[in-house]
Structure 1
Amino acid sequence: MSTTSPARAPRTSATPLPALWSPPSPRGTAALAVLLALLIAACWSVWDLGIDVPTILGSLGSASAFVSRMVPLDFPPAAELAGMLLETLAIVLLSTVLAMALSVPLALAAARATTRGQLSRASARVLIVLARAIPDVVLAIVFLRIFGLGPMAGILAMGIHSVGMVGKLYADAIEELDDAPREAVEALGGGRSQQIWATVPLALLPQIIATGLHRFDINLRTSVLLGYVGVGGIGLAIADALRVLDYRRGMALALVVLALCIVVELISGAIRAALLRRGGRAPGGPLDRLLRRADRRPVQERVDAPWTVDRIRRLLTVTTILLLVLASLAQVRISPAVLLEGIAAIPTALALFWPPGFGGAAGTIFGELLVTVQISLAATLLGAVVSLPIGVLAARNVVAHRAVHTVFRIVIVVVRGIPELILAIIFVVISGLGGVAGTLALAIGAVGLLSKLVADSLEETDQRVQEAVRAVGADRAQVLCAATLRQAAPAIIAHLMYLWDTNIRSATLLGVVGAGGVGFLLLNAARINQFEVVTAIVLLLLAVVLLVEVLALWLRRVVR
């Protein structure tokens, strides 16, 4: 048998040309129909909520009046402000550490690489999904009933809710790890637990810390919202100021929160980039250089476990985290007696939330639930319209001019630093109570998230494809449309679905301040002790969130 390939026959007029376009598969057609239906629903939501140019222009007079009422800004004394900030940071840090501590065992149970039992994996995945589906403000309401006013409810609420994101990312990271080290331990006779603990934690440590830092950013913004339900920190001070229409103090504190969020975003972003950097280059900081010089000793002088740069860095990281946790515990002054009493009262408190009921307001609840979905759809559409061009201009491989993409990257960071609650409060004052305020707040917030995701997706595309299109004479715009955007399209669709999923939860939370939707009914039911109504609303929200998550998962698989 000849091993040479047959000679290629010359193309003749009878030889069909390869198809330049192939019709989509039935699943692709169904996905396209679903996306078109969502687009139509989003456009209808924008129209039905009354969001149009005349409405926005008509709010400019209210905006001018609001600005005149908030200046000059009234900042609290430095000592009082420092106390608020320290309490907020302590709550956020403890909730993030709690989420990381709970997520690691759950992720180990949910990952195929570390758990063989299908039932165990499914149970862990269900717990992760439930933690993500239940809004943190609902968890805060429950824990406030159990532990009373104060930071404990906020720490537990944000910590448990964060497991939904952190646990999923940890589980995905575990499944992507190289299995060779575990197999080596297994070959040496190590048991299952030895295989896991000898290989997974060390390899996963950068991802653990990077994800924790990202969740810290999110929890910092969430802590402002939880101040409206009685959790301490600067969020409670903002809520107290705005309840009495003290806009000078409220907006001054909001400006402090904005500056804090931007600073934390920049610091954590730099740390995450250093932790997740690939390519084998050694860090270039002075401490790294000093440690590497100290480590240049003959091999025979070293002990079995040498103090390498990586080991010293890990030790310093863990020590720093432990010291910050201890300082945070001292700041919030959690009483062990109150904690034990609250734990003992959990069964009695949870009994108040069951069975669910609508309290004679089923029609109103379903109507406001529809408004919540409308707000999320409209905000996703408006946010996408603004975010896509910003994301394109922020991508380094699309815009060659460094100053341009740097400016737009700064814009993204600044917008990401603005808590959506602050935007919602401003728009409620300007445009009045209702869905318009919530939609505009979420649309602006979407710019910070979606623009960054779009820019990163464009930068991750295959440069060889773009160079090939450019080599045949295409200009920059043609390369962008024919190669870059086409490669990034599946990722952008996935980001849009993720943004819609996030906006449903956020629209619920912003309803607490009167920005439309079912959130206001949720908070009101908790205030008048209609806990069965709280449970009914939570179950409805859970059903909607799970439906959107299943739809998003299916779309991601089809368009991939």
Structure 2
Amino acid sequence: MSAAPVLAPPTGPRPGAAPPRTLTRPRPGGTAAAAVMLTLVALGAWSVIDLGIDLPTVLGSVGNAVAFVQRMLPLDFPPAAELAAMIGQTLAIVLLSTLLAIGLSVPLSLAAARATTRGRLSRGTARTLIVLARAIPDLVLAIVFLRLFGLGPVAGILAMGLHSVGMIGKLYADAIEELDDAPRRAVEALGGTRRQQIWTAIPLALLPQIIATGLHRFDINLRTSVLLGYVGVGGIGLAIADALRALDYQRGMALAVVVLALCIVVELTSGAIRAAILPRTDRRAAETGWADRLLARSTGTPSGPAAPSITPPWTVDRLRRLLSGAMIVLLALASVRAVEIDAGTLLGGILEIPSTLLLFLPPGFGGSASLVFADLLVTVQIALAATLLGALLAVPIGILAARTVVAHRAVHTSARLLIVIIRGIPELILAILFVVITGLGAVAGTLALALGAVGLLSKLIADSLEETDVRVQEAVRTVGASGPQVFLAATLRQAAPAVVAHVMYLLDTNIRAATLLGVVGAGGVGFLLLNAARINQFEVVTAIVLLMLLVVLAVEALALWLRRAVR
């Protein structure tokens, strides 16, 4: 029998940790926030019951699961050359969409941040564009672009790229506003223009956020590309869709395993990439190594303390960033060649944008308003039920994965590995599996999102627990508190606001995901959305999108209020 996890001893304050909080300080709005959270839990429990999700239902599907496994084995992988072409096209689509999003987000974030834009109108316009990009589902954007540019990678690149601006642009703008303004003021004191102040002080300081967010979005877009394959975008997603429509589970699940492997590889290598291309921040960065001295002699730049200058000196870090940028450019050019973008088709589609957008206006229900609202309610129920079930699974796993809570290395390492594996499985693949096992409907969508939530929420909870200030834990431990008491009274209490924010973020994510999973028959309004697009009822598509926008904005407003109330 394995040893039980034990609480880790104090390791000292974490860098950047908040000062110790007085545990008895009352929080304004705490009672109302608790009431709202209890209401959401009750709604989640009601949704679980109303959707018919119970233990007998799950156990009754075991036979279907066994039969499905028998039908999918042995896995039928395509020939190596064909598989390599699929992987190459998928990665090319994902890379180009991510680079497009970053390229659009940087100027938008500069326009949206108070530190770089003085005009309220410019900031408001930029913020509005960012919100709209996030609000419109990438599936809807893909439907529009498929009508403009036809079947193929272009629609997927544009859809994922524009939708990604909603997340990347917001994070970049927030990061710019949180930057230290001293470097910009120093450039201003040296006589630099406004453009020089922004260009010299902002990009290098923002580089960690650009890289980290870009890698995270690349991972999200890789999963999304599988979903967009169902509407005609190329890559592995299209091959999976074709195989499953033909009930060829051996080929479809073999390709799903490939997607899982790709997602895990991206997850595991993103940290290494960040460490390789980010500038050094430790004390060794201030020292001058042999490479810096050699570069200084070759460029005629003094290797000692740099004289005040607007133009940054050539260093090994700067050379590394330049080479990394050149590599990204080469990969982008190779990706453009791999997806075979036709300039004529692209230009023709751009010219048809006005006439195509008019097809989506004015919004209407086409005589199916009652059906739309009924499926919209099911979508919200799926999100609530999946968030509740996912949180019940994710909280204990997140606690076991926190290194500052569980001292046993094998325990938190195993928990982290489990999180990585679950995060590597796209929700669409889970939805397909549960549709086959439990049948069409909301049960499949709920179970898929609940299991997928473990990968997201567990990681966020573990990170939040590790970021708590151990000085508070030490203070509680010195008065004789036991390990569980220290965890409940100090660690968990500090992390509670972050945990609440993560759960609300999960609810917001599940509402969007529940809409999209309806494409494969996993319940909710997504099937109506896709069917309306297929029969050219574009006004119904617009109406459904507007309804989903109202729901998402309501959840975001509630989440913002809760975060402020529980701080």
Query: How do 1:486-501 residues align onto structure 2 when only pairs under 5 Å count?
Result: 486-501=493-508
In the alignment, the residues of structure 2 paired with residue 291 and residue 543 of structure 1 have an alpha-carbon distance, to the nearest angstrom, of 56
Long gaps (5+) in structure 1: 1-18
**3-state DSSP of counterpart to 1:377:** helix
Q: Of 230, 233, 236, which aligns to 1:231?
A: 233
Deviation at 1:186, TM superposition (A): 2.1
- Which residue identity does 1:490 align to in structure 2? P
Q: Find the counterpart in structure 2 of residue 14 from structure 1.
A: none
In the alignment, the residues of structure 2 paired with residue 75 and residue 91 of structure 1 have an alpha-carbon distance, to the nearest angstrom, of 22
Establish whether residue 44 from structure 1 lines up as the match of residue 46 from structure 2.
yes
Establish whether residue 321 from structure 1 lines up as the match of residue 328 from structure 2.
yes
Deviation at 1:409, TM superposition (A): 0.7
**3-state DSSP of counterpart to 2:536:** coil
- Which residue identity does 1:134 align to in structure 2? I
Q: After the TM superposition, which segments of 4 or more aligned residues of structure 1 sit over 6 Å from their partners?
A: none
Q: Which moved more, 1:376-385 or 1:110-119?
A: 110-119
Q: Find the counterpart in structure 1 of residue 266 from structure 2.
A: 264
Change (3 A) 1:322 1:278: closer
- Which residue identity does 1:137 align to in structure 2? L
Deviation at 1:20, TM superposition (A): 8.6
Deviation at 1:342, TM superposition (A): 0.4
In the alignment, the residues of structure 2 paired with residue 457 and residue 20 of structure 1 have an alpha-carbon distance, to the nearest angstrom, of 18
In the alignment, the residues of structure 1 paired with residue 361 and residue 377 of structure 2 have an alpha-carbon distance, to the nearest angstrom, of 24
Q: Find the counterpart in structure 2 of residue 128 from structure 1.
A: 130
Q: Which moved more, 1:445-454 or 1:272-281?
A: 272-281
TM-score by length of 1: 0.92
Q: Find the counterpart in structure 2 of residue 6 from structure 1.
A: none
Q: Find the counterpart in structure 2 of residue 351 from structure 1.
A: 358
- Which residue identity does 2:48 align to in structure 1? V
Q: Of 157, 161, 179, which aligns to 1:155?
A: 157
- Which residue identity does 2:446 align to in structure 1? T
Deviation at 1:306, TM superposition (A): 4.5
Q: Find the counterpart in structure 1 of residue 397 from structure 2.
A: 390
Establish whether residue 424 from structure 1 lines up as the match of residue 431 from structure 2.
yes
- Which residue identity does 2:435 align to in structure 1? V
Deviation at 1:203, TM superposition (A): 1.5
In the alignment, the residues of structure 1 paired with residue 300 and residue 252 of structure 2 have an alpha-carbon distance, to the nearest angstrom, of 64
In the alignment, the residues of structure 2 paired with residue 94 and residue 402 of structure 1 have an alpha-carbon distance, to the nearest angstrom, of 39
Deviation at 1:188, TM superposition (A): 3.0
- Which residue identity does 1:112 align to in structure 2? R
Q: Of 519, 541, 555, which aligns to 1:534?
A: 541
Deviation at 1:305, TM superposition (A): 6.0
Establish whether residue 473 from structure 1 lines up as the match of residue 475 from structure 2.
no
In the alignment, the residues of structure 2 paired with residue 505 and residue 200 of structure 1 have an alpha-carbon distance, to the nearest angstrom, of 33
Q: Find the counterpart in structure 2 of residue 216 from structure 1.
A: 218
Query: How do 1:436-451 residues align onto structure 2 when only pairs under 5 Å count?
Result: 436-451=443-458
- Which residue identity does 2:35 align to in structure 1? A
Q: Of 522, 543, 553, which aligns to 2:560?
A: 553
Change (3 A) 1:20 1:267: closer
Change (3 A) 1:302 1:143: same
Q: CA RMSD in A?
A: 2.0
- Contact 1:427 1:440 (8 Å CA) reproduced: yes
TM-score by length of 2: 0.91
Q: Find the counterpart in structure 2 of residue 173 from structure 1.
A: 175
- Contact 2:465 2:495 (8 Å CA) reproduced: yes
- Contact 1:94 1:328 (8 Å CA) reproduced: yes
In the alignment, the residues of structure 2 paired with residue 197 and residue 305 of structure 1 have an alpha-carbon distance, to the nearest angstrom, of 11
Establish whether residue 464 from structure 1 lines up as the match of residue 471 from structure 2.
yes
Count matched residues: 537
- Which residue identity does 1:68 align to in structure 2? Q
Q: Find the counterpart in structure 1 of residue 17 from structure 2.
A: none
Q: Find the counterpart in structure 1 of residue 35 from structure 2.
A: 33
- Contact 2:175 2:209 (8 Å CA) reproduced: yes
Change (3 A) 1:512 1:35: same
- Contact 1:210 1:276 (8 Å CA) reproduced: no
Deviation at 1:553, TM superposition (A): 1.0
Establish whether residue 194 from structure 1 lines up as the match of residue 201 from structure 2.
no
Deviation at 1:29, TM superposition (A): 2.4
Change (3 A) 1:447 1:231: same
Query: How do 1:48-67 residues align onto structure 2 when only pairs under 5 Å count?
Result: 48-67=50-69
Q: Find the counterpart in structure 2 of residue 522 from structure 1.
A: 529
Change (3 A) 1:273 1:507: farther
In the alignment, the residues of structure 2 paired with residue 256 and residue 379 of structure 1 have an alpha-carbon distance, to the nearest angstrom, of 26
Q: Find the counterpart in structure 2 of residue 87 from structure 1.
A: 89
**3-state DSSP of counterpart to 1:398:** coil
Q: Which moved more, 1:214-223 or 1:184-193?
A: 184-193
Q: Of 361, 364, 382, which aligns to 2:368?
A: 361
Deviation at 1:206, TM superposition (A): 2.3
Change (3 A) 1:255 1:289: farther
Q: Of 381, 404, 407, which aligns to 1:400?
A: 407
Q: Which moved more, 1:274-283 or 1:156-165?
A: 274-283
Long gaps (5+) in structure 2: 1-21, 304-310
In the alignment, the residues of structure 2 paired with residue 394 and residue 477 of structure 1 have an alpha-carbon distance, to the nearest angstrom, of 16
- Contact 1:210 1:275 (8 Å CA) reproduced: no
In the alignment, the residues of structure 2 paired with residue 68 and residue 124 of structure 1 have an alpha-carbon distance, to the nearest angstrom, of 53
Q: Find the counterpart in structure 2 of residue 103 from structure 1.
A: 105
Q: Find the counterpart in structure 2 of residue 506 from structure 1.
A: 513
- Contact 1:92 1:219 (8 Å CA) reproduced: yes
Give deviations 1:407-461, integer Å, cap 9, x for gaps. 1111111111001100000000000011110011101111000000000000000
In the alignment, the residues of structure 2 paired with residue 348 and residue 300 of structure 1 have an alpha-carbon distance, to the nearest angstrom, of 59
In the alignment, the residues of structure 1 paired with residue 196 and residue 297 of structure 2 have an alpha-carbon distance, to the nearest angstrom, of 31
Change (3 A) 1:485 1:352: same
- Which residue identity does 2:69 align to in structure 1? V
In the alignment, the residues of structure 2 paired with residue 254 and residue 456 of structure 1 have an alpha-carbon distance, to the nearest angstrom, of 29
Change (3 A) 1:141 1:188: same
In the alignment, the residues of structure 1 paired with residue 130 and residue 328 of structure 2 have an alpha-carbon distance, to the nearest angstrom, of 24
- Contact 1:134 1:538 (8 Å CA) reproduced: yes
Establish whether residue 140 from structure 1 lines up as the match of residue 147 from structure 2.
no
Give deviations 1:134-182, integer Å, cap 9, x for gaps. 1100100010011110000000000000001100110111111110111
Give deviations 1:99-150, integer Å, cap 9, x for gaps. 0000001100111111111222122111111111111001000100111100
Q: Which protein has greater RCO, CA pairs closer than 8 Å, 6+ apart?
A: 2
In the alignment, the residues of structure 1 paired with residue 562 and residue 428 of structure 2 have an alpha-carbon distance, to the nearest angstrom, of 30
